[in-house]
Amino acid sequence: MNSNNIIEKFSNLRKNKNEFERQIQNLSADTFLSFLVRLNKQLRNLDENVEVLDENMEVGNLKSPTKEVQRLVINELTEGIKKVKEPKLRAIMTYYTLLNLHMFDNGNGRTARFIYDLFSGQLSNKEANYYFHERDLGSGDYNVSFEESRKIEDVTVAIQYINKKVMDTLQNEIPENMQEKYITVSYSNSTPDITQILSQDLLNELNIQEINDLRKIIQDSYGQSLTPSGYAMLRIASQKGELEKWEDLNKELDVMPELNRMNFWIYKRPEMLADWTIDDFRDIIKYGNSLKHMQFQCLIKTFENPEKNLDFLKTLFKEKVSYEQEK
């Protein structure tokens, strides 16, 4: 099926508003995920038997969540889509969520843009460049970004807001002197892998999925103030009564103190983890997953309750949008 046929097929479905809404309301998480997988393959011109789901995707500092969190988020997004009836609210909620889930090995942006236009009713053959790569169309890319063309803010604006809301929710779990800090674990492409700082005994106790999840969470520094890596380390260091040692280490290293940063230097000082147990490292996975999941939950619920988040939602749209929800 060529690009024009794909767009025409879904445009026709969208024209019958009642039928489209009926299908939305009957949507299950499994059906929605299967639909997204098929759509991703069609937009990339791939065979049906090609595997496209991948929980280990990275874009800059963005790390896709673990498979466990991806599944939870798809469930909650599917229910959110049913609750959010206003087309543009439904579209932008799904667009931001899919971009941050980043669950495909390629074509995440194309899939998210297609879904945005499908839900908002803006799907058009004239703008196929937003859904298909240049080589698939034999034409050049658009000079105007998708967000600018749709008069919506970049996804990072939403993430900054959501991160602040999550921080407010977690105030009782974060020491007062840490609440205004940027809390993370220092990581870069030149940093040793997590397997190089754990003892062989610990590695032998962790299964492959746990090692992958641990690596993913420790490397996740995406966010403005509280990151999954930083939150997980903060919780465990506090529980073990070791937070003061980490604070002293920050003062000793004195790296860019003007950033008001609390960094856990586990790669420079792996000896700080020498007495950590297998349960401590499993708790890193648990706490990292909980924060990542909370961020997605907060994002989805913000659109489910537009009347409580009007000021924020009005900043996302550069044109008038109805925030009334059908009762």
Query: Looking at the predicted structure, is the pLDDT value of residue 323 above 60?
Result: yes
Q: Environment class of residue 270 by beta-carbon count within 10 Å: exposed (0-12), middle (13-18) or buried (19+)?
A: middle
The predicted pLDDT at position 139 comes to 45
Phi/psi region, residue 93 (left: phi>0; alpha: psi -120 to 50; beta: rest), is alpha
pLDDT tens-place string over residues 159-204: 888 988 998 899 888 998 888 888 889 887 788 888 988 999 999 9
Question: Where in the chain are the domains?
Answer: 3-137+146-152, 158-295
- Rounded to an integer, the average pLDDT of 297-323 is 90
The predicted pLDDT at position 140 comes to 45
User: Could you tell me where the beta strands, DSSP code E, fall in 218-323?
Assistant: 261-264
326 pLDDT tier (thresholds 50, 70, 90)? low
End-to-end Cα, the chain, rounded Å: 39
Between CA 191 and CA 170 the distance in angstroms is: 29
Q: Environment class of residue 268 by beta-carbon count within 10 Å: exposed (0-12), middle (13-18) or buried (19+)?
A: middle
- Rounded to an integer, the average pLDDT of 78-87 is 96
pTM of the model: 0.91
The predicted pLDDT at position 235 comes to 95
HEC string of 196-217?
A: HCCCHHHHHHCCHHHHHHHHHH
What is the DSSP pairing of strand 261-264 with strand 62-63?
unpaired
Residues of 128-152 as b/e, b for ≥16 C-beta within 10 angstroms? bbbbbeeebeeeeeeeeebbeebeb
Length of the chain: 327
Between CA 25 and CA 78 the distance in angstroms is: 9
- State CA 221 to chain mean position distance: 12
Query: Looking at the predicted structure, is the pLDDT value of residue 259 above 50?
Result: yes
The predicted pLDDT at position 81 comes to 97
Q: Which DSSP symbol is given to 325?
A: P
pLDDT tens-place string over residues 114-168: 999 999 999 999 989 999 986 555 444 556 799 999 999 998 888 888 988 998 8
Cα distances from 3 to residues 26, 135, 141, in angstroms, run 27, 12, 15
